[in-house]
Structure 1
Amino acid sequence: MKNIFDKKITNEIIKRIDTLTPETQANWGKMSVSQMFAHCCVTYEMIYTEKHPKPNGFVKMMLKLFVKNKVVSESSYPKNGRTAPQFIISDEREFGTEKKRLVDYIIKTQELGEQYFDGKESHSFGKLSSTEWNNSFYKHLDHHLTQFGV
């Protein structure tokens, strides 16, 4: 798995994002590019904002048992997989605004670095290692950029 905390890899991801336009069509799924940007921002909103309520103890335990490994492992996400309700973006979003938000979050995360994330509490899964954080960040971005052909 590529290391999203490496500036070279971050720049590679941003270059892929920069090739997208509002007209770019997905190879699968229902989201527009703008919705995909907003969808990817949810991961970062859970870290850097209070926008999304934390799951209660029971739900968090279930997420740790049944979802965590799919998110933090190196195995790829399947096409058209299920997503958590807070990640569903059904309204239309403004391309430039969502793109800037996502790129800003990616840069902030890279600049904070592996040490910041090692042992940091996840919104849904408890404490994660920097490797688990990296896998979740990189895999999610790569999945959706591949969805849009970049």
Structure 2
Amino acid sequence: MNIYDSTDTNDLIVQINKLTPAKKPNWGKMSLDQMLTHLNVVYLMAFTDKDTPSNSVAKFLLKLIIKKGVVVPKPNPKNGRTEPQFIIKNAKNFDEEKKKLISYIEKVRDSGNSNFEGKESQSFDPLTAEEWNVLFAKHMEHHLTQFGI
């Protein structure tokens, strides 16, 4: 999937619109509304300074240990560890979170890959446009698969 491509993002939005509040996860602890919010946090972090690691040691460790697993096309494992800032504890409004997610997807697409080339990541320093693509696309695919889409 190419998050900068209109056809791919339109197909992704069709998939997201197949989600209904009745959907249950095939694995994991998140409810559907929590999963949508969890995905939104990743997009929020790409567009704001929220939750930036406070010291260079933390950022170095994230970059050294986590980055390779996040920005390579290999699928995320089921029931993998979720970093604390991405854990959603309370119930959220399904419709609002779904609309917000679609809006973020459209914002990334409309911004284009040139806007993401060398864009600072709060956890991993600058990423290439392709690394951002992999990060967003594989995370989305992982959670849509989690909910049977």
- TM-score > 0.5 by shorter chain: yes
- Residue 71 in structure 1 maps to residue 57 in structure 2: no
Residue matched to 1:148: 147
C-alpha contact 1:25 1:148 (8 A) present in aligned 2: yes
Shift of 1:140: 0.3
Residue matched to 1:104: 103
Paired with 2:124 and 2:115, the residues of 1 have a C-alpha distance of 17
C-alpha contact 1:55 1:124 (8 A) present in aligned 2: no
Shift of 1:11: 0.8
Post-superposition, which runs of at least 4 consecutive aligned residues in structure 1 deviate over 6 A?
Answer: none
Paired with 2:47 and 2:120, the residues of 1 have a C-alpha distance of 12
Judging changes above 3 Å, is the alpha-carbon distance between structure 1 residues 63 and 69 closer, same or farther for their aligned structure 2 residues? same
Letter in 1 for 2:147: F
C-alpha contact 2:49 2:122 (8 A) present in aligned 1: no
Judging changes above 3 Å, is the alpha-carbon distance between structure 1 residues 51 and 121 closer, same or farther for their aligned structure 2 residues? closer
TM (normalized to structure 2)? Answer: 0.97
Residue matched to 1:17: 16
Shift of 1:52: 2.3
Shift of 1:55: 3.9
Shift of 1:40: 0.2
What SS is found at the alignment partner of 2:28? coil
C-alpha contact 2:46 2:121 (8 A) present in aligned 1: yes
Residue matched to 1:60: 59
Structure 1 unaligned residues grouped into runs of 5+: none
Residue matched to 2:136: 137
Shift of 1:54: 3.3
Shift of 1:88: 0.2
Residue matched to 1:44: 43
Matches within 5 A, 1:111-130: 111-130=110-129
Paired with 1:55 and 1:74, the residues of 2 have a C-alpha distance of 28
Percent identity, please: 49
What SS is found at the alignment partner of 1:31? coil
Paired with 1:54 and 1:37, the residues of 2 have a C-alpha distance of 23
Paired with 1:50 and 1:134, the residues of 2 have a C-alpha distance of 20
May I ask how many residue pairs the two structures share in their alignment? 149
Shift of 1:44: 0.9
